Amino acid sequence: MQARRLSIPDCFEFTPRVFPDHRGLFVAPFQEEAFVEAVGHRLRLAQTNTSVSRRGAVRGLHFADTPPGQAKYVYCPSGSLLDVIVDLRVGSPTFGEWTSVLLDSAEYKAVYIAEGLGHAFMALEDNTVMAYLCSEPYNPSAEHGVNPLDPDLALPWPQDIEPAVSEKDTEAPYLKEALEQGLLPQYDECVEYYEKLRAEG
């Protein structure tokens, strides 16, 4: 498995080897040794999630109060999607910047999104499946969102696909409003938490 550090600190892309044959294929989208070598600590697993989305469905932009936040390791077992990570950590050198990765069921790439980062994706075809490995269980009181169509963020959604956004995500504040409301994670607190995880091994 190959690991690549993305342009936003504390998120990584993982590309596993795919083994096709006359029966189909085999792939291991998560491999602990490669993960630990890249990230510096083991993936704590508290919950797994699966979503199935039609073409154009947008989920996100979501984040959780940190610490403990909720780190995610995501991949696409069926279909294809554009995965987007936004640095929402106030004080980060890349605050407000985004990066994106195409996830699909051809290469089975995966993305790790550390605590405090914002996560969203758009399904590029019907019946696209997203699999999530989450470090913490879902905690509705600690989860927040930023509007994924915020024009100031200008996320790279394909222009030829009409986005389908939930009412909850449509009503989420823009980044500037979330900053003014004090909803966003603090970069120094996130970094302190990452260091704690690495120290624990």
**Is 41 noted as a catalytic residue in this protein?**
no
Give 168-187 pLDDT, tens digit per residue.
999 999 999 999 999 999 99
The two tokens of residue 3 are 């690991």
Distance CA 18, CA 75 (A): 14
pLDDT recorded at residue 11: 98
Which amino acid does the sequence have at 163? Answer: P
Give the tens place of pLDDT for each residue, 128-169: 999 999 999 999 999 999 999 999 999 999 999 999 999 999
Distance between CA atoms of residues 34 and 16, nearest Å: 10
Spatial contact of 178 and 169, defined as CB atoms under 8 Å apart: no
Q: What is the pLDDT of residues 30-71, one digit of tens each?
A: 999 999 999 999 999 999 999 999 999 999 999 999 999 999
Out of 75, 112, 119, 132, which one is annotated catalytic?
A: 132
pLDDT at position 110, please? 98
Active-site annotation holder among 22, 62, 138, 194: 62
Residue 50 class from Cβ within 10 Å (0-12 exposed, 13-18 middle, 19+ buried)? exposed
pTM (two decimals): 0.96
pLDDT at residue 201 greater than cutoff 80: no
Residue by residue, DSSP assigns 104-123 as: ETTT--EEEE-TT-EEEEEE
Query: Is-catalytic flag, 132?
Result: yes
